[in-house]
Amino acid sequence: MPVSDVVLEDDSVGPYDRLSSSQVNTYRSCKRMWFYEKVLKLKILQIPVLYVGRAVEEAICRTLKESPSLMLKTASELTLSNIPIDENGKPSRDPSAKWPANRIIPLPIDKRPTSIAELENWALARLEIHLPTALENARKDWARQERKSGDWSEVKYDYCLEMCLNGIRFHLDEVNHCYNTIDDATLTDWREGKRHHWPAPDGYGYHLVGKHSLSVTGPVSIAEAWEIARPWFVEPESENFSMNAIHPDYWFQGEYDIVYRWDGNIKIVDIKASKGIGDRSGDYVSQLQMYAMLWWVTHEKQETINDLEIWYLGANVKKSVPNPSINEMSEMESELNQLYNEIKLEKPSIEKCPASPMPLRGFSEGGVSITAPEDMVRCDRCDWQSICPGGGGNEYSLIENEFYIPGLVSQVNTVDIKDLNVRFNLAVEIDSIIYPDDKTPEMKVSQNNNHARVDILASKSQSGKSTYPQSLTKGQKVYLKNVIVTSNFKGELTIKVDPLAEILVSGVGLNLQSLLDFRARWNIAGMVAYKYERRGIGRTGREWHRKGMVILNKNNSIKVSGWANDWGHQYEMAEEGSYVLLANIELDAWANQINGQIGRNSRAHLLR
C-alpha cells in the first residue's frame, strides 16, 4: 500500500522527527549544510523553480484524477474537488460520505475518446484548465515567503505546459500498454468494481456498489484503459504530508509521486519538472532506491518494486533507476536506522557536523552521468557560504554575555539562545469559556488574580491527539501543559496552545509554575545568518513594512522580526556573518521554534 495508517499510541517518533530521503541526501552531501537547515532551521532562498515544480505536478495529478468518460474537456476544474476529508487530512472512509463522481452521469459511449490521440487532446484541454490555477497558487505561496528570491515573471507558461504534456504523454504510454496487453481477469475485476485499499484518486470512494459505472462490454476500450491504468498519487485535496508511507517502526517516511500497479507490477515514478542537469540528479536516484526499501518494509518484506523511474519533464526523458536487491535494501534499512539514531534521536552538536562537503557529481540532460565539473565545488553554490567556514565565513566565536552599549549607562547581560523559554506548566481556573460552532473554545483563565486569555492555535497535538478536553466549564480547575505565555504592549497576558501544548484536567506529574514567573523582555546576541523584509497593503489600504533576521550561535538559532521603524539604523549595517546584540525583545514560539519580536523599546546593536 502506498499510504501507512499510523497507530498513534504506538508512534514514539511523531511526524516531525522522522528521517526522510531529502534529509539523508542533504546530510550525505554536507553535514554542516544539514545542520544549518535541519537543526538550526535556516531556510534556503525560495526561488520560483521550487514552486513551479509543485504546480506542474499538481496540474498533472488533477488531470490524471479526472475521467474522459465522465467529464467533457471543458468541464469546471472543481468538478471532482469536493472530496470528503477525515480529521487526519486523508480521504474519508466514512461509508456515508458523499463522493463527487457518484453524482455525475457518465458520458454517452459515443462521446468518449476512442484513441490515444483523442485522449491526449482531452488531457491537454484539462491541463490548460488546471495549470493556470496551480501556477497562480504557487506564485502566491512564493510571494508569501520571507526569503523569496528571483523574479516570477521569468516563469514561462508555455514551458510549464510543455512539461505537463510530457508527463501526460508518459502516462499515455502506460495507457496504451494497458490497452494492448490487459488480461481478462484484470479487466473483469475492474468492471466488477474491485478496488485497492488505497485506490487511485478518481472522485469515487473506497468501495463501489455493483459494476463500475464507467465500464462497457466486450474488449477493453481506450477510455477504460485510462481508468484502469490510472496510477496512485496523493489526493490533491488531502492535507499536506497526510498520505506518507511510514516505516513500521516510525523512524523513516516518504511520499511517493506516482505508483503504477494495474497489472500487478509495482512501478514508482518520481516526477521532476527539470532537465536533470547537475548534482541533484544523483540525489533523485538514491531517493527512489530508498523508496523501494520503504515499499518493501511497509509490505512486511514480502513485496518488492518491479520498476523505478524518474520523469525529467523538462528534457522529455524517462530515466530507469536500478532496483536494489533484497540484500541491498536490508543493508540500506540498517544504515538508515543507524543514521536516524545518530542525527534524529538526539540532536548532534555542530562539531559533529563538519564543513566537509562531498564532491559535486556531473549529470547531463536527462540525468545521464558524466564527468564531474572540475572548476566547481559544492560550497560555491551553497546558501550558507557567507557564514560557513567551508565557504567564506568563520566558525562562531562570540563568547561574551556582558556588553556596554553607547548611550546606555548600565551593561546589557544576554541570555544564551538555548536558555530562552516561553513555555510553562500552569494550574488555572476557567473564568469564562465559549464553544463557537466548528471552532476551538474561547477561554479566559486566572491564577491568583492574574488573568490571561487562552488562544487554542492547534486542535491536535503532534501525536494527533486533541489538545483540549471536551465539556470544559466555567469555574473548573484545569492544567495547562507546556503552553506558551506572551504579553502585548499593554502588559496583557496571552496563553497559547500549539501542537506541543495541552489542556488537562489532571496535573499529575507536572512541575507547576506561576504566571508571575513569566519574563516579558530578553537580551540576546549572536551571528546574523540572513536578513529579510516583507511589504504589503493592509485591510485599511495602508502600506506595511516589516524587517527581520535570523541569528544563531553554535547550536541554536532564533528568528526575530518587527516593524521596519523599530529596528533602527544599525539593521542596515548588519550583514550575513555579522555579530549583533538585540536588547529588550519579546518572545513567542510555535512548536520547536522560538521567535523574537522587536518593539518600540527594543534596540539592535552591531557588535562586529
pLDDT surpassing 80 at residue 407: no
Do 363 and 429 reside in the same domain of the chain? no
- Grid coordinates in use for 495? 496563553
- Grid coordinates in use for 54? 509543485
* CA distance linking residue 249 with residue 6, whole number of Å: 10
* CA distance linking residue 96 with residue 93, whole number of Å: 9
Positive or negative, the CA dihedral 552, 553, 554, 559 is negative
Helix (H) or strand (E) holding 452: strand 450-456
Q: pLDDT (tens digit, 9 = 90+) per residue, 278-287? A: 999 999 999 9
Cβ(528)–Cβ(559) under 8 Å? no
pLDDT surpassing 80 at residue 463: no
Q: How many helices (H) and strands (E) does the chain have?
A: 11, 22
Backbone dihedral angles phi then psi of residue 594, each to the nearest 5 degrees: -90, 135
Quick one: three-class SS letters along 545-581?
EEEEEEEECCCCEEEEEEEHHHHCCHHHHCCCCCEEE
Q: pLDDT (tens digit, 9 = 90+) per residue, 349-376? A: 999 999 999 999 999 999 999 998 888 8
> Which of these, 558, 540, 553, lies nearest to 598 by C-alpha position?
558
What average pLDDT does the segment 502-506 reach?
A: 93
Positive or negative, the CA dihedral 55, 57, 60, 65 is negative
Continuous H helices in 344-443: none
423 against 376, higher pLDDT: 423
DSSP-derived letter for residue 481 is E
Do 100 and 90 reside in the same domain of the chain? yes
Write down the pLDDT at residue 295: 98
Do 377 and 265 reside in the same domain of the chain? yes
pLDDT surpassing 90 at residue 261: yes
Do 172 and 106 reside in the same domain of the chain? yes
Q: pLDDT (tens digit, 9 = 90+) per residue, 44-53? A: 999 999 999 9
What average pLDDT does the segment 110-133 reach?
A: 97
Mean pLDDT (the chain, rounded)? 94
DSSP-derived letter for residue 35 is I
- Strand, coil or helix: 12: coil
What average pLDDT does the segment 256-282 reach?
A: 96
Do 289 and 195 reside in the same domain of the chain? no
Q: For residue 308, give the CATH number of its domain.
A: 3.90.320
- Strand, coil or helix: 385: coil
How much of the chain, in percent, has pLDDT values that exceed 70? 100
Neighbouring-strand partners of residue 370: 362
Q: pLDDT (tens digit, 9 = 90+) per residue, 195-230? A: 999 999 999 999 999 999 999 999 999 999 999 999
pLDDT surpassing 90 at residue 6: no
Q: Which among 497, 517, 537 is the end of a domain?
A: 517
CA distances from 216 to 174, 219, 536 (A): 20, 9, 55
> Which of these, 554, 570, 566, lies nearest to 596 by C-alpha position?
566
- Grid coordinates in use for 208? 463501489
Write down the pLDDT at residue 538: 87
162-172 exposure pattern, b = at least 16 Cβ within 10 A, e = fewer: ebbbbbbebbb
pLDDT surpassing 80 at residue 250: yes
Q: For residue 529, give the CATH number of its domain.
A: 2.40.50.140
Write down the pLDDT at residue 368: 94
> Which of these, 440, 452, 594, 445, lies nearest to 526 by C-alpha position?
594
Q: Which among 188, 220, 241 is the end of a domain?
A: 241
Q: pLDDT confidence of 12, banded at 50, 70, 90?
A: confident
Domain span at residue 365 reads 1-42+244-395
Do 456 and 574 reside in the same domain of the chain? no
Cβ(264)–Cβ(293) under 8 Å? no
Write down the pLDDT at residue 366: 95
Q: pLDDT (tens digit, 9 = 90+) per residue, 562-587? A: 999 999 999 999 999 999 999 999 99
Max distance between CA atoms of the chain, in angstroms, equals 92
Write down the pLDDT at residue 124: 97
| Residue matched to cell numbers 531529502 | 22
Backbone dihedral angles phi then psi of residue 550, each to the nearest 5 degrees: -110, 125
Write down the pLDDT at residue 164: 98
- The total of other beta-carbon atoms located within 10 Å of residue 97's CB is 14
- The total of other beta-carbon atoms located within 10 Å of residue 346's CB is 8
- Grid coordinates in use for 37? 537547515
- Please tell me the total count of domains within the chain: 4
Q: pLDDT confidence of 240, banded at 50, 70, 90?
A: confident
Cα 107 → chain centroid:
38
* CA distance linking residue 87 with residue 117, whole number of Å: 41
Write down the pLDDT at residue 39: 94
pLDDT surpassing 90 at residue 406: no
Q: Which among 225, 241, 257 is the end of a domain?
A: 241
Do 191 and 55 reside in the same domain of the chain? yes
Q: Please report, as a single letter, which amino acid is at residue 204.
A: Y
CA distances from 128 to 58, 117, 131, 134 (A): 12, 17, 6, 10
Write down the pLDDT at residue 312: 97
Helix (H) or strand (E) holding 258: strand 258-260
> Which of these, 551, 558, 597, lies nearest to 398 by C-alpha position?
551
* CA distance linking residue 336 with residue 334, whole number of Å: 6
Do 204 and 282 reside in the same domain of the chain? no
Q: Is 323 left (phi over 0), alpha (psi -120 to 50) or beta?
A: beta
Q: pLDDT (tens digit, 9 = 90+) per residue, 92-101? A: 999 999 999 9
* CA distance linking residue 205 with residue 217, whole number of Å: 23
Write down the pLDDT at residue 521: 93
Do 79 and 181 reside in the same domain of the chain? yes
Q: Please report, as a single letter, which amino acid is at residue 466.
A: S
Helix 21-29 and helix 280-297, axial crossing angle in degrees, nearest 10: 140
What average pLDDT does the segment 300-313 reach?
A: 97
Write down the pLDDT at residue 539: 86
Q: pLDDT confidence of 11, banded at 50, 70, 90?
A: confident
Do 166 and 280 reside in the same domain of the chain? no
Cβ(448)–Cβ(442) under 8 Å? no
How deeply is 404 buried, as exposed, middle or buried, from its count of CB atoms within 10 A (0-12, 13-18, 19+)?
exposed
Do 461 and 561 reside in the same domain of the chain? no
pLDDT surpassing 80 at residue 409: no
Write down the pLDDT at residue 65: 98
Do 348 and 306 reside in the same domain of the chain? yes
* CA distance linking residue 300 with residue 53, whole number of Å: 33
Q: pLDDT (tens digit, 9 = 90+) per residue, 156-195? A: 999 999 999 999 999 999 999 999 999 999 999 999 999 9
- Of 30-39, 404-413, 524-533, the poorest mean pLDDT is in 404-413
Cβ(270)–Cβ(316) under 8 Å? no
* CA distance linking residue 534 with residue 448, whole number of Å: 41
* CA distance linking residue 535 with residue 543, whole number of Å: 7
Q: pLDDT (tens digit, 9 = 90+) per residue, 536-561? A: 888 889 999 999 999 999 999 999 99
Neighbouring-strand partners of residue 530: 550
